[in-house]
Structure 1
Amino acid sequence: MKMTVSVATGAPRANRSIGAILMDSGVLTPEDAERIIQFQKEHDIRFGEAAIRLGLLTEADIQYALSRQFSYAYLRASAEKKTLSDELVAAYQPFSPRVEQLRAIRSQLMLRWFDKTEQRQVLTVVGTDPGVGRTYLAANLAIIFSQLGERTLLIDADMRNPRQHELFLLQNKVGLSTVLAGRSRDEAIIRITDLAGLYVLPSGPIPPNPLELLSKMNLDEFLIHARASFDVVIIDTPSLSVGEDAAMIAARTGSVLAVARTGATRVHAFNDMVQGLTESGVAVVGSVLNDVPPPKKAKKK
């Protein structure tokens, strides 16, 4: 995954030892911690290195403890009951090369667009066709912005084929559609408790008139409210090939991140999309060439 356009973190809270964190999480027993400390003193090495040499901890255990020391929230993939989809790699594999690429995109966006003092907090993720990875990119970017300490809102504005509620394992009884229809407000925004600072507004029930809903002044009012409440707002949209929804949202937010998929997106269609958005006064902040394979669809029984 590459961004084809050519942050300060908060102070860490590293006041708890790795051993204490891992004992509290049930990974390490007090007896094993004593063995590690003794081995550490004898060989004059770090606690984590001693634990790995003794075979009592893995590198993943150490990374997990370090993340807790420095307030960098992520989920352990070994958890029996997962609270998020495996597609959310930023939550489960924060130190993988794929997530490093996502962090590089985040850095570019911080430099080129996001600035709360100038009211540049909203970014719309767009693509020409279904399956290019807009939903995947929007969700994982939202996670890594929240891990940076930014209060982040992810909005699923795909009111035709929404997926964010599936990725975050949320109900979809209320959401953007009910907000725009005036049937709900802040209660539709869901705090993701496992990832500090991350909030999700699902699409809500699929309406018969998504484009008309997006044309309402309620969208402008909600975006004003979102800018006042969040540091970063990322909006997932349907593909341009299924309707004008994404173009409508982009015109209201004023900025987009354009997504293409390797071997799937037609160059002329992508260029036409970017040109059309630019001519409409929308800032195309950057483009992402997604080389992550699309998720496999479950076979129907």
Structure 2
Amino acid sequence: MGSKKSKKLKQVMMSTRRKLITHDNPQSPISEQYKTVRTSINFSSIDRDIRSIVVTSSGPGEGKSTTAANLAVVFAQEGKNVLLVDGDMRKPTSHYTFNVNNTFGLTSALSRQKTLRESVHQTDIKNLDLLTCGPIPPNPAELLSSRSMEQLLEDVYQDYDLVVFDTPPLLAVTDAQVLSSQCDGTVLVLSSGTTEVDNAKKAKELLDTAKVKILGVILNNREIKETSYYYYGSN
């Protein structure tokens, strides 16, 4: 019975790890597209360095968490010291992707139960650390707009070259808008054949209202017929 549970756990771990294609298969066409997105972001910051990036989507299931994780990986592969932060306090997933516990994390640091350095998880990917969500709070938007969040960003900038935030969908809650207004740029993830045009427009309008810098839009899950891969594009 124990061996069956162990086998099932291993299968779950492998399935979640496959989301990190930029680490597991860095030469794949999909990984190359993530590197193209990285280059586009670098070129968008000629006048000033981009130190913090928010990754969000219009709705659920559009691939923003997978995108955030893989973007963090390719920036780490470039030599930057990167912190990936699970800012989705509604449905956190980064601890599954990296197979770590979520007993402490972002909420622990914001509530001052732990310091930032005590809350961070080291990953087995060079130059990449992870700050999971931690215990889910009753007031995510308030936490993200708090003075503690401002202080946490200041602390992050002392230890890391870049921080990548995975945040909830824009049309669901205000969290992404709140955090985007504190960061250097935002990437909007849309899903080909899934995201409705009106929802995409509404999501952009919300970002425009918050007066944030939109670094680009990633079109996720666009299938290229001549290959078995999916294309991740950016504007």
Which stretch shows the higher mean deviation, 127-136 or 248-257?
248-257
Secondary structure of 1:257 counterpart: strand
Q: Is the 8 A contact 2:51 2:184 kept in 1?
A: no
Partner of residue 84, structure 2: 154
2:190 is aligned with 1:190: no
The Cα shift of 1:265 comes to 0.8
Secondary structure (helix, strand or coil) at the match of 2:171 reads helix
Is the contact made by 1:114 and 1:121 (CA closer than 8 Å) also made in structure 2?
A: no
2:205 matched to 1:275? yes
Matched, 1:208 2:142: no
Q: Deviations over 1:125-174 (max 9, x none)?
A: 01110001100000011111111111011000001100011000010011
Pick the structure with more strand per residue. 2
- Which of 185, 192, 195 pairs up with 1:255? 185
Write the mapping of 1:1-301 to structure 2, written as runs, cut at 5 A.
Answer: 85-113=17-45, 118=48, 120-185=50-115, 186-192=117-123, 194-291=124-221
Deviation of residue 213 (structure 1)?
A: 1.4
Matches of 2:118 and 2:201, distance apart in 1: 39
Q: 1:84 to 1:151 in 2, by over 3 A?
A: farther
Question: What is the rounded CA distance, in whole Å, between the counterparts of 1:184 and 1:139 in structure 2?
Answer: 24
CA distance in 1, matches of 2:162, 2:197: 30
Letter in 1 for 2:202: D
Matched pairs, number: 210
1:82 deviation in Å?
Answer: 6.0
Aligned equivalents of 1:141, 1:271: Cα separation in 2? 24
- Matching residue's letter, 2:120: I
Q: Distance in 2 between matches of 1:254 and 1:144?
A: 18
The percent identity for this pair of structures is 31
**TM-score w.r.t. structure 1 length?**
0.66
- Please say if residues 83 and 168 of structure 1, whose CA atoms lie closer than 8 Å, have aligned partners that are also in contact: no
Pick which of 118-127 and 148-157 moved more: 118-127
CA distance in 1, matches of 2:158, 2:49: 9
The alignment yields a C-alpha RMSD, in angstroms, of: 1.9
SS state at 2:165 partner = strand
Whether the 8 Å CA contact 2:50–2:184 is kept in 1: the answer is: no
Larger radius of gyration: 1
Cα distance in 1 between the residues matched to 2:100 and 2:196: 33
Shift of 1:276: 2.5
CA spacing shift, 1:108–1:183, aligned 2, 3 Å: same
Larger RCO of the pair (alpha carbons < 8 Å, separation 6+):
2
Asked if the contact 2:177/2:210 (under 8 Å) is kept, the reply is no
| Structure 2 residue identity aligned to 1:232 | L
**SS of residue paired to 2:190:** strand
Q: Which amino acid aligns with 2:148?
A: N
Task: Tell me by how many angstroms 1:113 deviates.
Answer: 3.0
Q: Distance in 1 between matches of 2:72 and 2:114?
A: 23
Cα deviation code 1:181-230 (max 9, x no counterpart): 111111111111x2110000000011122122112100011111112221
Alpha-carbon separation, structure 1, partners of 2:67 and 2:221:
11
Does the 8 A contact of 1:135 with 1:163 survive in 2? Answer: yes
